[in-house]
Amino acid sequence: MTQCHDFSCASPAQIAIHPASEPARCADQQTAATIDFFHDVVCGWCYVMSPRLRQVAGELGLRVRQRSFVLQASRAEMVARFGSMEQAKQTILGHWEACAQQDDTQRIDIEGMRRESFEYPSGLAGALACQAAQMLEGDEAHWNLFDAIQHAHMSAHRNIGDAEVLLGIATHTGFERNAFARCMESAEALNMVHQDLALARRLGLSSIPTLIAQGLPPLQTQPLNMLRERLRALVG
């Protein structure tokens, strides 16, 4: 398995999809070949994939748009999917083991997370934080914060379901705390999560990470060299 697809990938009940237009995007970013990167902050395969995509996108001059794909949006959804929060953590850490075997720099601390007493978090709070970064500074800031949250989750085994933890990460990344908090708590951030989920549904996506680019089939986690060869087709 090289992607998260055995979680509940249906649209989360607590963040039901609403019809909406696409978020505004910067006009000066329209010339580069574009990839949509669908991800969840709690997805181990996304942690493996993100640095590879960064490297290749930088080499080839590709634009990467960040898209939230929340696997579960609440504790209730975690229990519905896994049976209990204890079973959720046990099962997901089993997934981490597979991810760790494929991670290029061996960053995933499975035993550290196993020792933590907090319940394994769902991905909604982290997605809202990422969309706050998007609102304030755009796709690159979204990606930087996404990576920082994933590092906190999978390498530092912090509780990224806690808003205070997320605000601390955002502040460390360079955001002004109060302005960021207002964006993270806003209806607009939630609506942006809705929009990305709606787009994922229209595209028929059922697993993450998934890369979508015009002229290519959907791409999941793959080795760096293979990813480079697949994405080279976008630049001729």
Q: How far apart, in whole angstroms, are the C-alpha atoms of residue 202 and residue 84? A: 31
Q: d(Cα 4, Cα 102) in Å, to the nearest integer?
A: 14
Q: For the segment 105-145, what is each residue's pLDDT rounded down to a tens digit? A: 999 999 999 999 999 999 999 999 999 999 999 999 999 99
- What are 199-211's pLDDT values in tens digits? 999 999 989 999 9
Is the Cα torsion angle 57, 58, 61, 67 positive or negative in sign? Answer: positive
pLDDT at residue 18, rounded to an integer = 38
**Contact between 29 and 63 (Cβ < 8 Å):** yes
Give pLDDT, residue 21: 39
Residue position matching structure tokens 């930088």: 58
Give me the pLDDT at residue 3, please: 59
Mean pLDDT of 158-167: 98
Tokens 């934080």 -> residue: 129
* pLDDT for the residue 45: 98
Task: Report whether 154 contacts 44 (CB < 8 A).
Answer: yes
Structure confidence by residue, pLDDT tens digits, 116-125: 999 999 999 9
Neighbouring-strand partners of residue 68: 39
- Residue 113: which of 91, 138, 83, 80 has the closest Cα? 91
**What would the mean pLDDT of 74-95 be, rounded to a whole number?**
97
State the pLDDT confidence band at 2, using cuts at 50, 70 and 90.
low
Per-residue model confidence as pLDDT tens digits over 3-53: 554 443 333 323 433 333 344 444 344 577 999 999 999 999 999 999 999
- The mean pLDDT value for 56-77 works out to 97
Q: Which residues contact 24 (CB under 8 A, 6 or more apart)?
A: none
**Euclidean distance between CA atoms 72 and 121, whole angstroms:** 9
DSSP characters over 37-76: EEE-TT-HHHHHHHHHHHHHHHHHT-EEEEEE--S--SHH
